[in-house]
């Protein structure tokens, strides 16, 4: 996968929310009770290798000047008091990764912190025990 480098202007603060009224005030939710990691193991060695293949490939060969984050099995928190999604792989472009990963608010992908949802979330279909064709698959 190759793209030509482009000049990009990245917002210094992802919480700027450009299209909000001037009197809009963003209040960061309290995440002190949020479980950001539960150390649940991966499905299998095959699944782990697939996830690693996707993230490692992006970091080693994705030709872009854009900052990005590619993760495997990291919580994607998209709303206050809503359980996270945990995609096998996610890719988010034009985001700055916090330097201090020891802080709780930096251990997962909080949409309010990054200022946007990721561009891509991938779920690798495994055996029926993972319920990929059931509760993980939204039905319209």
Tokens representing residue 36 in the block: 């950001």
Tokens representing residue 26 in the block: 């963003």
Contact yes or no for 36/107 (Cβ under 8 A): yes
CA gap 6, 14 in Å, rounded: 20
Indicate the length of the chain as a whole number: 140
Q: Looking at the whole model, is its pTM more than 0.85? A: no
Res 140: pLDDT: 52
Alpha helices in 31-136 (DSSP H): 45-61, 111-114
Residues in Cβ contact with 125 at an 8 Å cutoff, skipping those fewer than 6 apart = 132, 133
pLDDT in tens, the chain (140 residues): 444 333 333 443 444 555 566 666 767 778 777 777 766 766 678 888 888 999 999 999 988 889 999 999 999 999 888 899 999 999 999 999 889 988 888 989 999 989 999 999 998 876 666 565 666 555 55
Tokens representing residue 49 in the block: 């290798």
């Amino acid at each position: 996968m190759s793209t030509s480098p482009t000049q990009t202007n990245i917002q210094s603060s992802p919480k700027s929310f450009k299209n909000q009224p001037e009197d809009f005030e963003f209040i960061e939710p309290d995440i002190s009770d949020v479980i950001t990691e539960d150390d649940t193991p991966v499905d299998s060695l095959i699944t782990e290798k697939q996830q690693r293949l996707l993230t490692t490939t992006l970091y080693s060969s994705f030709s872009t000047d854009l900052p990005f984050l590619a993760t495997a099995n990291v919580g994607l928190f998209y709303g206050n008091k809503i359980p996270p999604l945990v995609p096998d792989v996610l890719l988010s472009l034009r985001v700055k990764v916090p330097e201090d990963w020891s802080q709780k608010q930096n251990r997962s992908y909080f949409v309010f912190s990054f200022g946007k949802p990721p561009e891509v979330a991938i779920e690798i279909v495994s055996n029926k025990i993972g319920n990929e064709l059931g509760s993980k698959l939204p039905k319209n």
